[in-house]
Chains A and B, each alone.
Chain A
């Protein structure tokens, strides 16, 4: 006996009352959906327009949509197993679009896909395959949420997630079961109604839960600002950042409603991982809560009932949250926006913050030291002064100009440049690039610093800057754009990697060096390989468990290096422990802040007799193998 392959049993005939009932249910379901979704859509549209939003160039948006939404790339890459499960569910939904349309059409008597026809047969089998994977996926995620219970999904069990999982499973099960019943049997009809009820119950639940992301996230990804940690410029005299609901823009509102509550942002947040109040997921959900209660036109302060000032100022701006988010939420503009709202209006009262701001109001560097200190250093090192004729301007920055360790790094990098015969000079006067005040939200001081520096750069005809500090690099390249045209700028790792073949190798390259990706070089600038090239040249490269775009912050960013003592555990200790657990005795850094943070942390850790780990910048690793030459032979 030849078994004929099963076909989907579509009930062919519905009585008029059944069709009417179905139509009524559709209307009711749709109505309930709209009753909740309508106001949300309204809130999004009612929010302030993003002043810097440009739909074009559209290529980037189309690509992001394709890659992140359709291919589910971020979802899978950052959490593979649950990611694949989710991807199957998503693809299942996509595949089911036509199925669902047809299903409803059948209910109204106008079904258009025949299960016997060639296309119908093919398509329904295809959908069946997706239904299987989807069902497996939802089952897997159910087990994960309710049995495995990873901590970043939160302590409370989400019954709504359980219910939705059930509905999705039912949808798939009813579909698949319909292959094994006869078209005319009552079973087929029951399955059809079961599927319908599941569908029509699911629909209105969507806007009431985090499953709103089904509708919103494709748009969120498509419409995102682009770039990374793109802080929008302030628009007009009344704009001080995110102070009240009136300052929330359409993008911010859209993103607040798109949050899936997956907790990927929290999982990687250095503050959340060291017992601080800050939890990036709660920042986004806090905005959502605010919007639900007060709406986007409200004058209630954003930092109040739903979000706290304390949390907003615990952020190191490492970007792990924004980087991870699978639905395109941009956390950093939100957090920096909240900080701006507090600082630009004088509502933030913090002794260390005030000291930093007051110091930069009248001085030239974030450390509050006299500029003559930098002059003394430049003189002592006999750095050539930039006069417009050299190729590079070596930017010292605050750490390179004033911090003893930062100065060592700069001096070693200069030695390497001398060895290579690079033409470079150092500016006579430099002011802080403004990174810490920018990340803390002080637009007044930032503007003053950016404009002042841009003027000096223009006067001195600087074309290319090379810097040892990723914060300087980022601020010069991106943040200064708001006030002028910054020159080309690169980080010293990029420079060194280009020239590494001309540099002598050390006598022995057995030294195990664990490289730590700085946030502002890795996630912010996408520079991962160049510093590794340099490290591998000097020794044996060892990777930390969390590396490359997964790198865990040293704790200094976001202006926090200049603020007071942290609450909870020390971020730097957590990371230092992780780095040293690799067995390497040397930590290779590419940022003077990371260097300083780890030095303090390893000293604290290494009290038990054993020699503390060495924290060495890549410039120093390189300079170690140079022949001893006088301080300045090139210029």
Chain B
């Protein structure tokens, strides 16, 4: 099976969030970068499928030069080769624009399976994988925890709300967006990093890919949200505090 895994390099979890001078994005000067969390699970799923059924795992990522370190990390974990779509202005593109770039680079590969993480830790659209499926004309499913190869194609386990699950059968080739937590991730090893040095990393400039079309949706402005995370101690009697808590959980935290 030839599996393509689209991965994204995102600011690491502890990254300081300061709005830059232009007011359109955060200041990237002091940021450290890491592989997007659900993409790590997508990569793990791909590697496990390869280990079971043979084939090849190709990672693809779009972004500026710094993305190379995350690509190499994916190679170190076991991907066979990589494609880097070099682009310094990804921020100017919307989800459709980015997906178009990736789709153009993926099309010549004719993969059996395209995997992406469910959503990115920075923008969090959760759309790239689904749009990719549409652009590549592939059947897809999302929020996948488990993938099995069958004679007819794939049987996947999809997460539904509130602790329910569903099995979906789909033919190959297909696209899936992978939810975090379905597998146990493997750690990066010294041996992996050393091997990665000899693996193919092909670079394609974004300009080489025919995508055109200006962005349909633009991010106009960013701001720090009014409420910072801090512990709210609810005062009063047991009854009062309990009532206040339920209120907060329903409308502020929105978990009930």
- Please determine whether chains A and B interact with each other in the same assembly: yes
Please report A residues at the B interface, Cβ cutoff 8 Å.
234, 237, 240, 343-346, 351, 353-354, 357-358, 361-364, 370-372, 442-445
Which residues of chain B have C-beta atoms less than 8 A from A445's C-beta?
187-188
A346 in contact with B12 (CB, 8 Å):
no
A305–B26 Cα distance when bound, in Å, is 55
Which residues of chain B from 157 to 210 have any CB-CB distance to chain A below 8 Å in the complex? 184-194
Q: Select from chain A the residue with minimum beta-carbon distance to B35.
A: A362
24 contacts between A and B (CB under 8 A): A240-B190, A343-B189, A344-B189, A346-B187, A346-B191, A346-B192, A351-B184, A353-B187, A354-B186, A357-B187, A358-B185, A358-B187, A361-B187, A362-B12, A362-B13, A362-B35, A363-B12, A442-B187, A442-B190, A444-B188, A444-B190, A444-B193, A445-B187, A445-B188
B183 to chain A, nearest CB (A): 11
Q: Which of A344, A353, A358 contacts B190 (CB 8 A)?
A: A344
8 further interface pairs, Cβ-Cβ under 8 Å (given A443-B190, A444-B188): A344-B189, A354-B185, A357-B188, A361-B187, A362-B34, A364-B14, A370-B13, A444-B189
Q: Could you say which residues of chain A place their CB within 8 Å of the CB of B193?
A: 444
Report, as a range, how many residues of chain B touch the other chain: 10 to 19
The distance from the CB of B236 to the nearest CB of chain A, in whole angstroms, is 26
A354 contacts which of B13, B14, B34, B184 (Cβ < 8 Å)?
B184
Q: What is the CA–CA distance of A237 and B187 in the complex, to the nearest angstrom?
A: 19
Q: Report the Cα distance A17→B35, complex, angstroms.
A: 84
Quick one: given A240-B191, A362-B34, are A346 and B14 in contact (CB under 8 Å)? Answer: no
Nearest B residue to A236 by beta-carbon distance?
B194
Q: Across the interface, which residues of A come within 8 angstroms of B185, CB to CB?
A: 354, 358
B188 pairs with A361, CB closer than 8 A: yes
- Hey, which chain A residues are within 8 Å of B188, CB to CB? 357, 361, 444-445
Beyond A346-B187, A354-B184, A358-B187, whether A237 also contacts B14 by CB under 8 A is no
Interface centre among B34, B185, B188 (most CB of A within 10 A): B188
Answer whether A363 and B14 are a contact pair too, CB < 8 Å, given A237-B194, A351-B184, A354-B184.
yes
Residues from chain A with Cβ under 8 Å of B189 in the complex: 343-346, 442, 444
Are B187 and A354 within 8 A (Cβ)? yes
Interface SS, B side: loop
Quick check: A344 and B191 within 8 Å, CB to CB?
Answer: yes
Cβ contacts under 8 Å, B187 to chain A: 346, 353-354, 357-358, 361, 442, 445
A399 to B56, CA, bound (A): 43
Cα A408 to Cα B13 in complex, Å, equals 27
Identify the B interface with A (CB < 8 A): 12-14, 34-35, 184-194
A444 and B76 alpha carbons, distance in the complex (Å): 11
The smallest beta-carbon distance between B198 and chain A, in angstroms, is 10
**How far, in Å, is A357 (CB) from chain B's closest CB?**
4
Cα of A358 to Cα of B34 in the assembled complex, Å: 11
A-B residue pairs, 10 tightest by C-beta: A357-B187, A344-B190, A371-B14, A346-B189, A444-B190, A362-B34, A345-B191, A354-B187, A443-B190, A370-B14
Return chain A residues, CB-CB under 8 Å to B35: 362
Contacts known (A346-B192, A362-B34); A372 close to B14, Cβ less than 8 A = yes
Contact between chains at A363 and B190 (CB < 8 Å):
no
Closest partner residue, chain A, to B14 (CB atom): A371
Q: Which of A234, A346, A357 has the most CB of B within 10 A?
A: A346
Give the distance in Å from the alpha carbon of A635 to the alpha carbon of B35 in the complex.
Answer: 39
Chain A residues in 8 Å Cβ range of B190: 234, 240, 344-345, 442-444
Q: Are B186 and A346 in contact (CB under 8 A)?
A: yes
Give the complex CA separation of A443 and B184 in angstroms.
21
Q: How far is the CA of A357 from the CA of B73 in the complex (A)?
A: 14
Contacts of B186 in A (CB 8 A): 346, 354
Shortest Cβ distance from residue A238 to the other chain B in the assembled complex, whole angstroms: 8
Q: Within the assembled complex, what's the spacing in Å between the Cα atoms of A346 and B185?
A: 12
When C-beta atoms are compared, the residue in chain A nearest to B191 turns out to be A345
Tell me the bound Cα distance from A371 to B12 in angstroms: 11
A366 to chain B, nearest CB (A): 14
Chain B residues near A240: list those with CB within 8 A. Answer: 190-191
Known: A346-B186, A351-B184, A354-B184. A363 touches B13 (CB 8 A): yes
A351 to B183, CA, bound (A): 11
**Which residues of chain A come closer than 8 Å to B13, judged between CB atoms?**
362-363, 370
Chain A minimum-CB-distance residue to B78: A346
A345's closest neighbor in chain B, by CB? B191
Chain A residue at minimum C-beta to C-beta distance from B12: A362
Among B185, B187, B188, the one with the most A-chain Cβ atoms within 10 Å of its Cβ is B187
CA distance A346 to B189 in the complex (A): 6
- Closest chain B residue to A237, Cβ basis: B194
Return A64 CB to nearest CB of chain B, in Å: 33
Q: How far is the CA of A232 from the CA of B192 in the complex (A)?
A: 21
